Amino acid sequence: MPAKEFGGKTIEVDDEGFLVNREDWNEDIAAAIAKEEGLPELTEQHWKVIHFMQKEFQEKGTAPSIRRLKNTGGIPIKELYALFPNGPAKKAAKIAGLPKPMGCV
């Protein structure tokens, strides 16, 4: 299994860079992953999406799709793409320490 270093801590990731162990996640790790994904700063709106995704994962056992983010999370698609360009559900899940959502390429 590959590993990455975030803030001086070595973390196991899969071949696409998603955390292998959710227990490794914390907000500092999220910020480091976000920077790696081209997001220099996580705003309050980013955290709203991240925490929604984590809650959904905890309740349902899977990371929510972009459709679920829009419909249940109440975040318009345009805003999701503005917050997490080039694949909002996949990028947000990675930053949230979750597995890749089903249906994401």
Q: Which residues are tagged catalytic?
A: 104
Closest alpha carbon to 95 in 41, 33, 40: 33
- Both tokens of 8, joined, read 């001086």
**For residues 13, 17, 18 and 23, what is the CA-based torsion angle, rounded to 10 degrees?**
40
Please state, in angstroms and rounded to a whole number, the distance separating the CA atoms of residues 11 and 4.
5
